[in-house]
Chain A
Amino acid sequence: MDCTAAGVAPRVDFALVGHPESWKAAADVFSALRGPDRIPLPDDELKDILPWIPPRAVCRVDVKSIADAEAHGLYIDSFIPPDRLDAACVRENLTRVRAAAAYAIKAGARIVSLGGFSSILIEGNFDQLPPRRSTIFTTGNTLTVAFIVQGIEKMCAQEGRSLRRSTLLVVGATGDVGSGCVRCLAPKVRRVLLHARNVERLRRLAAELEAEGVDVEIGTDLGSFSEEADVVVCAASLPSPSLLLGRVAPDALVCDAGYPKNLSPDAATSRATVFFGGLGQMTGGLKFDPDLQGILNRHPFPDVVHGCLLEGIALTLEGRFESFSRGRGAITPPHVMEIETIAARHGIVLAPFFNAAGPVTLQ
């Protein structure tokens, strides 16, 4: 940890803004903070208390690069209650994200990654964030896209699948992450199926791809596509994993890149290979103070973090304090290549494969 002189606030290079993925995740953090001598907060008490907590740092984060750079930051939780992520709470949640951003600015962070729903709420409109002098914001979505694309390619290679002969379905295709994945993967597959709720946006994206010679089909209903997909990227959380049943090939490769992740491999797609996408691993070093390792980042492998948060860390280690990802569907293959090169230089690499059941082993 960065031990500074007594009373001097430690340096804050970066801030990562997130929120609890589930009540279980929130309960685990509170249990850790309460310590082993106190009984865990009962669920009903946690649900009563958490919504009142003003956005604040949960822990300090120290990272080391394999290129000998190091940086110090904060993980800031907006404390959006996990059961209030829906559209009815947008205004309230936006207020929380703004307060979390204000906290990061006050702490002196030079760059802030907006993780999970935070960037979705801001929708690329950084003008919604509080006034700041020198703090830069990034959605972090470009590195998320990079890890999704890397995951698909690596998994295809490991399973002996031909990506080139695949039909790719992207769910949530017109969002920032979804459209970035489409632009990166479409030229590498046989056919592309684009699914989203907004038909106008689907048409615009399809036209862009068709101009590049890509074979595209669009649909707002998963059941409307003329063929099954064998490679699937879920860039948006599905209301129910069962929606994929019968819509994709039984042995499809499914990347769950939504947030929160909810595609259980045994619920919808028993023969499919389902893995969580968009995650990276810090190989140089990652420390939390207080030590919430494995609690804040609840993954079966160490030092695994969402790509959106890692983007801010990568840019800090590189000394590039800029709004690399600004949202609004502007992620292009050259951007993706640039951020994955930066990340790799500092030892930030694709995370090992896993899903809700644990590590994914090749069949």
Chain B
Amino acid sequence: METLMELKPPAECTSPTASIWQDVLAQAVTGELVAAMNYAALAEICDDPREAGEAREHAAIERAHAAAFMAAGRKIGVDVVSNVDGKHWKRLSGAFMGCVAERDTIGCLIVQEIMLESFALASYTRVANVAPGSLGKVFGAIAADEQEHADHAMAILKAERDANPDRFDDKLHRLHLEVMSTLAKMLAKDCRDGHCEVCVSSCVKPSLFEVSLSAAQLRGASLQQYLKTLDALGLPGEITLAWIAQLPV
């Protein structure tokens, strides 16, 4: 009779960088689980049954992403932990739930699709370029999925902005101050506010160079994706530049 250990799929690789990938995956899984919770909550406030169904579908997709990342971790011989109550993620989730409490579906889409997805899409794409073997493929495939989500939401948000640009931009700025400031702290080169409560031991950022990544690169790529999304929505560049310039570092 085979033991449980023998049934476990063999690790694709165990390398000195495995612990770095473990923390990178922990952030990704946490982000996906937060997104799943967000979409599930959004489904509850959608008046249109079709939209509610889509939100539930998105929640399921995000859970599947989290599962795929965990499986990718097992393949390289690491157990991926997650912590949706980690301090940054809790704050990001709190911003979304604030919109839910106000039954503000547009606010929800702004937080999830413009801000969190910009971060996810840009980060996953960078990681996909350097991660070994199947790990890189998983990040690449999920990045492509996230792009599809974002494209879908953009049409709704563009129509909302076209209807009343000032109201839309004011709301976006209010959420930017809350969400993007948290993301900026999360992506800062040093964690000045202490441990993020997601990395398994010490902060992974100083080690990222060992896998050809850096916190500065992930932050830069995320900000770039965010600005491009705001441009596509039609926000004036001189306004969004000032917003970015004012973020904490």
> Which A residues lie at the B interface, using CB under 8 A?
6-7, 9, 30, 33-35, 38, 41-42, 45, 48-49, 51-54, 56-60, 74, 76, 103, 289-290
Which residues of B (201-249) have their CB < 8 Å from a CB of A? Answer: 216, 219-221, 223-224, 227-228, 231, 236-238, 240-242, 244-246, 249
**A54-B220 contact in complex given A33-B245, A35-B246, A45-B249, C-beta closer than 8 Å:** no
B58 interfacial contact with A, CB 8 Å? no
- Please give the distance in Å from B180's CB to the nearest CB on chain A: 13
Contacts of A35 in B (CB 8 A): 246
Contacts of A7 in B (CB 8 A): 164-166
**A30-B165 contact in complex given A52-B221, A56-B227, A56-B237, C-beta closer than 8 Å:** no
Q: B246 to A54, Cβ gap below 8 A?
A: no
Chain B at the A interface: SS class: helix
Contacts of A74 in B (CB 8 A): 238
Contacts of B236 in A (CB 8 A): 9, 57
Which of B219, B221, B238, B249 is in CB contact (< 8 Å) with A56? B238
Q: A290 to B238, Cβ gap below 8 A?
A: yes
Chain A at the B interface: SS class: mixed
- Please give the distance in Å from B246's CB to the nearest CB on chain A: 5
Contacts of A60 in B (CB 8 A): 238
Contacts of A49 in B (CB 8 A): 219-220, 223, 244, 249
Closest 6 A/B residue pairs (Cβ): A56-B237, A52-B220, A33-B245, A7-B165, A48-B216, A57-B237
Q: Which of B224, B245, B249 has the most CB of A within 10 A?
A: B245
Contacts of A9 in B (CB 8 A): 236
Q: A54 to B245, Cβ gap below 8 A?
A: no
- Please give the distance in Å from B244's CB to the nearest CB on chain A: 7
Q: B189 to A48, Cβ gap below 8 A?
A: yes
Cα A33 to Cα B247 with chains together (Å): 11
- Please give the distance in Å from A346's CB to the nearest CB on chain B: 25
Which residues of B (106-127) have their CB < 8 Å from a CB of A? Answer: none
Q: A53 to B224, Cβ gap below 8 A?
A: yes
> Which B residues lie at the A interface, using CB under 8 A?
164-166, 189, 216, 219-221, 223-224, 227-228, 231, 236-238, 240-242, 244-246, 249
Contacts of A38 in B (CB 8 A): 246
Q: A30 to B227, Cβ gap below 8 A?
A: no
**A33-B221 contact in complex given A7-B166, A53-B227, A56-B231, C-beta closer than 8 Å:** no
Q: B165 to A34, Cβ gap below 8 A?
A: no
Sample 22 A-B pairs with CB under 8 A, ordered by A number.
A6-B166, A33-B241, A34-B245, A34-B246, A41-B245, A41-B249, A45-B249, A48-B216, A52-B220, A52-B221, A52-B223, A52-B224, A54-B227, A54-B228, A54-B231, A56-B227, A56-B240, A57-B236, A58-B238, A59-B238, A74-B238, A290-B238
Q: A30 to B238, Cβ gap below 8 A?
A: no
Cα A49 to Cα B237 with chains together (Å): 16
Cα A237 to Cα B91 with chains together (Å): 51
Contacts of B223 in A (CB 8 A): 49, 52-53
- Please give the distance in Å from B214's CB to the nearest CB on chain A: 9
Q: Which of B189, B231, B237 has the most CB of A within 10 A?
A: B237
Residue of B nearest to A31 (CB): B245
Q: A33 to B242, Cβ gap below 8 A?
A: yes
- Please give the distance in Å from A273's CB to the nearest CB on chain B: 39
Q: Which of B165, B166, B221, B236 has the most CB of A within 10 A?
A: B236
Cα A51 to Cα B189 with chains together (Å): 16
Contacts of B219 in A (CB 8 A): 48-49
Cα A9 to Cα B227 with chains together (Å): 18
Q: B220 to A51, Cβ gap below 8 A?
A: yes
Contacts of A103 in B (CB 8 A): 231, 237
Cα A354 to Cα B244 with chains together (Å): 34
Contacts of B221 in A (CB 8 A): 52
Residue of A nearest to B238 (CB): A57
Contacts of A54 in B (CB 8 A): 224, 227-228, 231
